Amino acid sequence: MSGNGVSVEKNPPVKLPNEPVITPQIVAEHGLSPEEYQRVLAIMGRTPTMVELGIFSAMWSEHCSYKSSKVWLKKLPTKAPWVIQGPGENAGVIDIGDGQAAIFKMESHNHPSYIEPYQGAATGVGGILRDVFTMGARPIANLNALRFGDPAHPKTRHLVSGVVAGIGGYGNCMGIPTVGGETNFHAAYNGNILVNAMTVGIAPTDRIFYAAAAGVGNPLVYVGSKTGRDGIHGATMASTEFSEDSEEKRPTVQVGDPFVEKLLLEACLELMATDVIVAIQDMGAAGLTSSSFEMAAKGGLGVIVELDKVPMRETGMNPYELMLSESQERMLIVLKPGTEEQARKIFEKWELDFAVIGHLTDTERMVLSWHGDIVGNIPIPPLVTEAPVYERPWTLTPLPAVLDAASVPVPKDWRASLLALMSCPDLASKSWIWHQYDHLIMGNTAIRPQDGDAALVRVNGGHKGLAMTSDCTPRYVQAHPETGGRQAVAEAWRNITAVGARPLAVTDNMNFGNPQKPEIMGQFAGAIMGMAEACKVLDFPVVSGNVSLYNETEGRPILPTPTIGAVGVIEDIAKAVGSRLTQAGLGIVLIGETQGWLGQSLYLREACGREEGAPPPVDLAVERRNGDFVRSQIALDRVEACHDLSDGGLLVALAEMAIAGGTGMEIAQPAGNVVPSHAFFYGEDQGRYVIASGSADDVIEAAHAAGVPAVLLGYSGGASLVVRDLLSLPLSDIKAAHEAWLPGYMSATE
């Protein structure tokens, strides 16, 4: 091979034996439109080979190119003084002080999880972990946001059981605690479940690794597992004519090997502690194609990949399969020249494959060789600059009419209504799920699932803690995407605040239907507008994210679900509070204004069987003012427990606090409050918190001084939840209803 690829550049690629003629059908099966194929021809100046076509197809897929979403994603605020790296790298990076950075991202594995729930979810976790440790971070926590179909749908139980086992199976083996998440059920997800996984890691700010390649001649190194025929997508047919072994002509599901990933993590971190890495990139979607391509493109360089040097798991693999395989647990590294042996020793110690598979060139071309022949030769810059970008037509969802609380029936039986809400699929305890996740490993979990609005994890070797959460209320987004987008960000910010931490930044996972439909594109646009506004007002930049489109089956789309993952910091973890009510005699104080918003509420859906009205509006200035106030009171040690109000409203939040801490309370709607009681207790007005305080008077006085609505509802104590004139329920009954639904559902048949 020539050293810099200049001579090979002119050589037309060699056709492989059995290489099919590219027909319009083959182009279509690669997901390229006729216009997109014309662009390919223009860039190449000739007909591409199969492997070249496969590369265009992968790089220009929605997944890799963000062609439908790009124009909108640009509207999200991504900067703040504490942002070290915003979107565009493997994960976002923020400064958390003391020379430390938090590195985090969320990613979907929706479709694979529907096809094969265990492996789909497991490899989703594996993928997001790699995104984070590629940048030099040791992962310290995982979260997962799950949406399943109607519990009554015949597939739901099987999907829940497989997805949860898969997430646990991978994260537990890796030794990363899974500390939080959310789980919803709705018929709109019957044919398209959502599995969004998030990882948070920590790295020294001066040792963060990026993907941009540098240094002509530097070796390109492949490490990790061998490459097999996993997940070679729409490309199935291509392999049909192409592969030698007819047995292999079926789509394969990616199988994860968390044991190898654990070794890969340790080996990479060991390598990163030396001084030999120029650039590093994990092989995720579109495997070797996107990783090598992105490294070269970001560095403005070219690359030669000698495909026959790639470690292979199966015999008879061809260049097409090697470039497009999505085998898991692999990484691509550009090393400093002459450090190959030093690096090799580390990977051999961890019993991982290590192979030099090429080098960087100055040609800005990707040249693929196969046993000495050139089989692919693509110019890199036009593939990036000429990539299709669509401004798809969009129509915004109009704001539905506001629902008058008077039109919503008052519960006939308050006890029954509360028990029904506490045991409905969306609100029932998810302990059946998180008990299958090791949430304690590493010994740093200060707030566990269900013990607070955000999980709280100590940063090793200090007093600092990171708070993390994931949130979205899809029914609000469906009703009015702008409001829903705003609300998802606000709730994440509120959840971080409720444990006493300072919200810092966001990662998002935009899950939507078919963007070629204007109403779906409108949902996307609306959600982004709402999110952008909320992020701006709350100083809560987006530093990473992921888009998953086409989540629809037979024309039925999912609820638009822009999942927000968020991270915040608390300097002294001992000051943090959870939501468990464990002491009698505390004042129960409601912070924020209650108008009694029942539109799109869970009360309306679960107790009245109606999904209608406008979702609760989010006043971001109020949100910020109320949250800053709550955080200040926590910092003053005036708060024993704090819970934000969200799904189910006030009464549900109070019940959750009481059963989690085993302490009851006696409360009442404040005298003179004219909101109808069902709207007061079940309304889902935003920007609200409940706090339990030993100095409630001081809190209320401070609130009024700050212009924050605050009112004393009653006091903690006893073993029942008592609401004057309305209900008295033993905590044991509430707890039983709350805890029983999911295990009962999962152990039933049919």
Partner 1 sequence: MKAAVLVFPGSNREGDVAQAIELVTGRKPQMVWHGDGDFEKTDLIVVPGGFSYGDYLRCGAMAALSPVMAEVKKRAAQGVPVLAICNGFQIVTEAGLLPGTLMRNAHLKFVCSDVHLKVETSQSLFTNRYQAGQVIRVPVAHAEGNYFADQDTLKRLEDRGQIAFRYCAPDGTVDGTGNPNGSIRNIAGVFNETKTVMGLMPHPENAVEPMFGGSDGKALFEGLVEALT
Partner 2 sequence: MKARVHVTLKNGVLDPQGKAIGHSLNRLGFPEVGDVRQGKFIELELDETDKAKAKARLDEMCRKLLANTVIENYSIELVG
Ligand X SMILES: Nc1ncnc2c1ncn2[C@@H]1O[C@H](COP(=O)(O)OP(=O)(O)O)[C@@H](O)[C@H]1O
647 binds ligand X (CB under 6 A): yes
Residue closer to ligand X (CB basis): 438 or 453: 453
Residue closer to ligand X (CB basis): 194 or 324: 194
545 in a labelled binding site: yes
- Separation between Cα atoms, residue 108 and residue 144, nearest integer Å: 10
**Given the DSSP bridges, would you call strands 502-511 and 542-548 parallel, antiparallel or unpaired?**
parallel
Q: Which of 85, 123, 183, 239 binds ligand X (CB under 6 A)?
A: 183
Residue closer to partner 2 (CB basis): 172 or 523: 172
Residue closest to ligand X (Cβ) = 181
434 binds ligand X (CB under 6 A): yes
120 binds ligand X (CB under 6 A): no
327 binds partner 1 (CB under 8 A): no
- Separation between Cα atoms, residue 750 and residue 745, nearest integer Å: 10
Q: Which of 440, 621, 636, 719 binds partner 1 (CB under 8 A)?
A: 440
- The residue whose two tokens read 């061809």 is 318
- Separation between Cα atoms, residue 523 and residue 561, nearest integer Å: 10
302 in a labelled binding site: no
731-747 vs 649-661: helix crossing angle, rounded to 10: 90
Minimum CB distance to partner 2, residue 252 (Å): 5
Residue closer to partner 1 (CB basis): 436 or 553: 436
Q: Which of 57, 397, 563, 646 binds ligand X (CB under 6 A)?
A: 646
Binding-site string for partner 1 from residue 574 to residue 603, where x marks contact by CB under 8 A and - marks none: x-----------------------------
620-635 vs 481-498: helix crossing angle, rounded to 10: 10
- Separation between Cα atoms, residue 750 and residue 748, nearest integer Å: 7
688 binds partner 1 (CB under 8 A): no
Cβ–Cβ under 8 Å, residues 184 and 559: no
Minimum CB distance to ligand X, residue 490 (Å): 12
- The residue whose two tokens read 């992020």 is 535
Cβ–Cβ under 8 Å, residues 693 and 735: no
Q: Which of residues 450-469 bind Mg ion (CB under 5 A)?
A: 453
- Separation between Cα atoms, residue 103 and residue 90, nearest integer Å: 9
Q: Catalytic annotation on 63?
A: yes
From 591, 678, 598, 664, select the one nearest 627 (Cα to Cα): 591
- Separation between Cα atoms, residue 99 and residue 93, nearest integer Å: 12
Tokens of 221: 């190194």
Minimum CB distance to partner 1, residue 435 (Å): 5
131 in a labelled binding site: yes
Binding-site string for partner 1 from residue 228 to residue 267, where x marks contact by CB under 8 A and - marks none: -----------------------------xxxx-xx----
Which residues does 614 contact at the CB level (< 8 Å), separation at least 6? 399, 400, 401, 402, 403, 479, 480, 483, 599, 600
282 in a labelled binding site: yes
Count of residues touching partner 1 (by CB under 8 A):
31
Binding-site string for ligand X from residue 143 to residue 162, where x marks contact by CB under 6 A and - marks none: -x-x----------------
Instruction: Using the CB atoms, write b or e for 516-552: b if 16+ within 10 Å.
Output: ebeebbbbbbbbbbbbbbbbebbbbbbbbbbbbbbbb
- The residue whose two tokens read 């039925």 is 556
Sign, CA dihedral 180-185-189-192, equals: positive
Q: What letter does residue 6 receive in the DSSP assignment? A: H
Catalytic residue among 63, 480, 643, 678: 63
- Separation between Cα atoms, residue 639 and residue 241, nearest integer Å: 68
Q: Which of residues 29-68 bind ligand X (CB under 6 A)?
A: none
Residue 517 binding result from ligand X, partner 2, Mg ion, none, given CB thresholds of 5 to 8 Å by partner type? none
445 binds partner 1 (CB under 8 A): yes
Residues that bind partner 2 (CB under 8 A): 115-116, 118-119, 225, 228-230, 247-248, 250, 252-257, 259-260, 313-314, 327-328, 351, 749
Q: Which of 181, 599, 664, 687 binds ligand X (CB under 6 A)?
A: 181
The residues binding ligand X (CB under 6 A) are 144, 146, 178, 180-183, 430, 433-434, 437, 449-450, 453, 471, 495, 646-647
The residues binding partner 1 (CB under 8 A) are 165, 168-169, 172-175, 257-260, 262-263, 350-351, 434-446, 458, 573-574
Task: Indicate which residues carry an active-site annotation.
Answer: 63, 109
